[in-house]
Amino acid sequence: MAVAYHRRQMISAWNDVVNDRQPSMIELFHQQVMLGQGTKRTIRFQLERYEYHRNKVVQWGELAHREFLLQHIVKPSDEAEQLWRRLQQAFPDNIHVTSTCPRTPEPMRIEVWDHPSRMSQWEAFMAEHDVSDFRTRFRPTSDEDSTKDTQDGHSDEVQSLHPPGSVEEGMKADELERQHRWDDLEGKSNE
């Protein structure tokens, strides 16, 4: 029963992030009393709410969390951008993936939250792509070149296929593409 509650709250919070909905008075009360946080009527509140309930779903074993610190790909770099596009193509229906956007080059760090049964696929993908000859093995295709991110500069914010971090343009479209993964989780909440 508790996992169903956290699953519903996680999905609700993410929908609020995508739709930029402000928290209700009841949610503010929950934030102050239950979570011990001050009153914040911001998108950050919805992201914190999402993270809190997502982490509870992980604790219950419905989702798995894995962090990958890549040895051969640094970020920012063309290779990191290409890997991110490949990741989006390989796992278009993931639950949540983030990567930091450092200002100076450092090993790329990717965090994944997905169904436990898919973690072996994530591990295989990372092992296949975290190689010293990435640039020669994975030359960009014309499709990848046409979708290259045009972000000017870098920041310490988080690049995300899903929250937390910054809410990027096009996230609503990304959310629709991944909706069936959320539907899988929602279907379980009716159990």
Half-sphere exposure in the Cβ direction for 16 (13 Å, CA) = 22
Q: What local confidence, expressed as pLDDT, does residue 151 receive?
A: 42
Residue 90, judged by CB atoms within 10 A of its CB (0-12, 13-18, 19+), counts as middle
Tens of each residue's pLDDT in the chain, 191 residues:
788 999 999 988 888 777 766 666 676 666 666 555 555 556 777 788 899 999 999 999 999 999 999 999 999 999 999 999 999 999 998 889 999 889 999 999 999 999 999 999 999 999 999 999 999 998 876 655 544 444 444 444 445 544 433 333 333 434 444 444 555 555 554 55
d(CA 103, CA 157): 10
Q: What local confidence, expressed as pLDDT, does residue 143 receive?
A: 56
The answer to whether the Cα torsion of 74, 76, 77, 81 is positive or negative is: positive
Give residue limits of the domains in the chain.
Answer: 2-62+179-189, 64-160
C-alpha distances (whole Å) from 89 to each of 83, 149, 178 are 10, 14, 12
pTM of the predicted model over 0.85: no
